[in-house]
Structure 1
Amino acid sequence: MLYVTAGTASTQAYESLTRDLVVGRYAPGSRLPGERDLAVQLGVSRATLRLALSRLESEGTLQRSAQRGWFVPTQVLGEPPSTLQSFTEMARSRGLRPTARVMRQEGRPASMDEATKLRIAPAAPVIEIDRLRGMDGTPVCFDVVVLPENRAAALATADLTDASLYDALRRHCGIEVHRSTYTLMAESADAELARLLGITPGAPVLVGDEVAYTADGTPVLIGHNKYRGDAYRFEADLFRHA
């Protein structure tokens, strides 16, 4: 009779799962079968399976959700140091397919903070565009952009589904974004954001706030972006003064 130790069985399950992930049996962003079914497929106990899954989790190859099971992480997006890219450009440069579902696209009065940042009068008309951004079908970012109507009126009615906003500004408004000031902080996802991004409420998200400018220093948009914490990395070059 052949005896297989728990450690050996766990290693075999780990190696089998690793092969499946390498060949693409489970795509980025997809959920693995339930532990019971997966244990049967691999011919191991659930306790042994969990050892293998935990090992893959520690390596960053899998992620666990207490409510929904085990997932393959989406590809992490990162901005090249000191390079301003739109979401669409960032995705395509990595061979990923960007998507954008428009959830709101309408005019309204500017808030005091928005008016200050955009250098327009308080309550002046602005256009708010809310979109759910994705990569290869996986939701990655909830994006809210506010633009002054007097500079970007055409975007109130433009088709922005799966479109780059920077490209739309150039094509419809003749505006070229030259630079952006950007701040980044961490938050926890509330129930609504978690639903949109397919994550657990309370999961970490990265919140980016930007003001984009033309070459002459005119502000043309305010952006408020909430990224899945497991799908985005921000990079920057830092220098010390002599």
Structure 2
Amino acid sequence: MTSVDGTKAGAAVEQTYRRLSNALRRGVYPPGSRLPGERDLAASLGVSRSTLRLALARLADENKLERSSQRGWFVRRNIVGEPPSTLQSFSEMARARGLRPRSHVLRHLTRPATFEEAEQLAIAPASKVLDLRRLRSLDGVPVCVDSSVVALGLAPQLADIDLTDRSLYETLDQDCGLRVARSSYTVHAAAADDATAKLLEVEPGDPVLVGEELTYADDGSLVLAGRMVYRSDAYRFQADLFRPVGD
């Protein structure tokens, strides 16, 4: 009798797991959303809370769900991040993971470089630059506020190109003949200000990751200075680190 009951319990967990997996795949519970409370969810599925918890735990083991001891179960967000030691654009990172990248242009302005920007980009003060700011999203979820200052002396075509839903790196290559080769990149933690929080759909003061880059073409020319503000729950930075060989 025990083995029959155990088989039935296992089948109930499997069925619950499959139903929840299908719901996640169909987007019934979008990334980042909170699942209904265990009591209500178990009732809607027609199973016991113990059966539900086993199915939820299995989904958590697969990194599809995560549990907060205070707030309940949440659908994990899609997380992007550069592969170790590989420079990719936001669009390339997204496509490599089967996600749909979108870019909404918040600012596209040609103006003189400030003294600080001129020093960063190794250009003369007041040289023309493109001041570009975009909101980047993955599958409709806002992930990053991306600001770039591009030296237009190297890529004058950019002044007239609409960069909505376009990769800046790929546009530099295909339309301007500049292949991005490397980037000097730093990352630090910060708190979202009111304007950034509104764009990223988080609360003011929530943690964000700030990436700052100086990007070079393959001929060594400094092309752009960028600043990317990522939701901390949607971005991960990876790097390969090597110890020097001792004498």
Q: 1:16 to 1:117 in 2, by over 3 A?
A: farther
Question: What secondary structure is seen at the aligned counterpart in 1 of 2:93?
Answer: helix
**Does structure 1 residue 103 correspond to structure 2 residue 102?**
no
- The match for 2:140 is 137
**2:135 and 2:146 in contact (8 A); partners too:** yes
Q: 1:99 to 1:149 in 2, by over 3 A?
A: same
- The match for 1:29 is 31
**2:81 and 2:238 in contact (8 A); partners too:** yes
Which residue, out of 79, 82, 88, partners 2:82? 79
Alignment root-mean-square deviation, CA: 3.4
- The match for 2:238 is 235
CA distance in 2 between counterparts of 1:195 and 1:21 reads 31
**Does structure 1 residue 154 correspond to structure 2 residue 157?**
yes
Alignment of 1:1-242 (within 5 A): 19-23=18-22, 24-25=25-26, 26-29=28-31, 31-32=33-34, 35=37, 38=41, 41=44, 61-62=65-66, 71-242=74-245
CA distance in 1 between counterparts of 2:197 and 2:74 reads 15
Gaps of 5+ in 1: 1-13
Question: What secondary structure is seen at the aligned counterpart in 2 of 1:178?
Answer: strand
**Normalising by structure 2, what TM-score?**
0.78
Question: What secondary structure is seen at the aligned counterpart in 2 of 1:182?
Answer: strand
CA distance in 1 between counterparts of 2:20 and 2:115 reads 50
Q: 1:41 to 1:83 in 2, by over 3 A?
A: same
- The match for 1:4 is none
Q: 1:55 to 1:119 in 2, by over 3 A?
A: same
**What fraction of aligned residue pairs are identical, expressed as a percent?**
49
CA distance in 1 between counterparts of 2:66 and 2:127 reads 48
Deviation at 1:117? Answer: 1.4
Q: After the TM superposition, which of the residue ranges 25-34 and 118-127 deviates more from structure 2?
A: 25-34
**1:178 and 1:215 in contact (8 A); partners too:** yes
Query: CA deviation digits over 1:122-165, x for unaligned, max 9?
Result: 22221111111111111111100110121222112212111110
Who wins on radius of gyration, i.e. which is larger? 2
**Normalising by structure 1, what TM-score?**
0.79
